Amino acid sequence: MKSFHYRAHPELHRTEHIGWLRAAVLGANDGIISTASLVVGVAAAHASHANIVTTAMAGLVAGAMSMAAGEFVSVYSQADTEKADLERERAELSSDPESEQRELTAIYVRRGLEYKLASEVATRLMAHDALGAHARDELGISDALSARPLQAAMASAGSFAAGAATPLAVVMLAPAQSLLPWVIGTAIAFLAMLGALAARIGGAPVARSVGRVAFWGTFAMGITAGAGALFGAGA
C-alpha cells in the first residue's frame, strides 16, 4: 500500500500585496498630483521661480507627513476593530464552543458543502485552530489582508515623497519660461507610468488604469491652474 506524502505547493497571490500596494500607489499618485497641482497653481499666479521651488519642497514634506499620519491612524483603527472582533470570538469559543461549531458548519453549508461534510470540516478545523478558522471564515480576517498600520504609514510616506520628488525635480531643471507645460506634461507621463506599474503588479487592465490616473491627474491640475490664474489676476 502506497503512503501519501503531502508536499506544500508554494504560490504567490496578488492579494498578498494588497496592503502595501494600495498605500504605495495612493501615496505616489497623491504625491505627483498634489505637488504638480501646487506648482501649476502657484506658477499660474505668476510667482517667482524661487517661490515655486519652495512651494514644491514644502508640499513634499507636508504631504508625506500628512499621508503617514492619516494612513497610520486609519489603518490602526481598522486593526483595533479586528482585535476587538477576535477577542469577542475568543470569548465565545471559550464559553460556548458547540454553538460556534454549529455557526461554522452553517457557513460551510451556505458555501455549498453538504451538512455532514460541513460539520466534519468545521470540527476538524476547530480542533486544529478554532480562532483562526472563525477569524478567516466568519470575520474575513486573514494574514494577507490584516491591517498593518506601521507598514501602511511607511509605504504611504515613502511613496508620496517619491511621487512628489518628480515634479520638484522638473521645477528645478526645466526652463523657467516654459515651466507650466513641462510640469503638466511630465506629471501626466509619471501618472501614466504609475498606473501601468500598479496595474501590472495588481493584475488589472493596464490601459484602463493608465487612462484613469492620467485623466484625474490632468483634471486636478487644470482646476488648480484655473484657481491660481484667477487669484493671480486679482492680486
The answer to whether residue 203 sits within a structural domain is yes
State the Rg of the chain over Cα: 25
Query: Residue 12: which pLDDT band, with cuts at 50, 70 and 90?
Result: very low
Q: Other CB atoms closer than 10 Å to residue 62's CB: what's the count? A: 14
In a domain, 55, yes or no: yes
pLDDT of residue 145 exceeding 60? no
Give the integer Cα–Cα distance in Å for 56 and 34.
Answer: 9
Share of the chain above pLDDT 90, in %: 11
Cβ distance 71 to 153 under 8 Å? yes
Categorise residue 31: left if φ over 0, alpha if ψ from -120 to 50, beta otherwise: alpha
Tell whether the model's pLDDT for residue 83 goes beyond 90: no
State the pLDDT at residue 144.
Answer: 53
- The grid coordinates of residue 175 equal 526652463
Model pLDDT, residue 18: 53
Q: How far is CA 95 from CA 32, 98, 128, in A?
A: 53, 9, 18
Tell me whether residue 5 is in a domain. Answer: no
Mean pLDDT (the chain) is 80
pLDDT at 67: 85
Range of the domain at 157: 18-228
More confidently predicted of 209 and 233: 209
Helix spans in the chain (H): 18-44, 49-95, 97-110, 115-137, 149-173, 179-202, 206-234
Residue 164 has pLDDT above 90, yes or no: yes
The residue count of the chain comes to: 235
pLDDT reported for residue 2:
46
Q: Which residue has the higher pLDDT, 17 or 40?
A: 40
For residue 154, give the amino acid letter.
M
Average pLDDT over residues 175-190: 88
For residue 102, is pLDDT > 60?
Answer: yes
Residue 138 in grid coordinates? 466568519
Domain assignment present for 8: no
In a domain, 80, yes or no: yes
**pLDDT value of residue 146:** 59
Taking residues 79-83, what's their average pLDDT?
80
Among 64-78, 137-151, 189-203, the range with the most confident prediction by mean pLDDT is 64-78
For residue 147, the model assigns a pLDDT of 61
Q: Which residue has the cell 519652495?
A: 54
Q: Between 126 and 166, name the one with better pLDDT.
A: 166
The predicted pLDDT at position 175 comes to 87
In a domain, 62, yes or no: yes
Give the pLDDT of residue 171: 92
In a domain, 172, yes or no: yes
Question: At residue 4, does pLDDT exceed 60?
Answer: no
Summarize the confidence of residues 34-38 as an average pLDDT.
Answer: 88
Q: Tell me the average pLDDT across 31-38.
A: 89
Q: Residue 235 domain-assigned?
A: no
- Report how far residue 124's alpha carbon sits from residue 128's, in angstroms, rounded to the nearest whole number: 6
Task: State the pLDDT confidence band at 135, using cuts at 50, 70 and 90.
Answer: confident
Q: How far apart are CA 87 and CA 102, in angstroms?
A: 19
Question: 66 and 161 in contact (C-beta within 8 Å)?
Answer: no
Give me the number of domains the chain comprises: 1
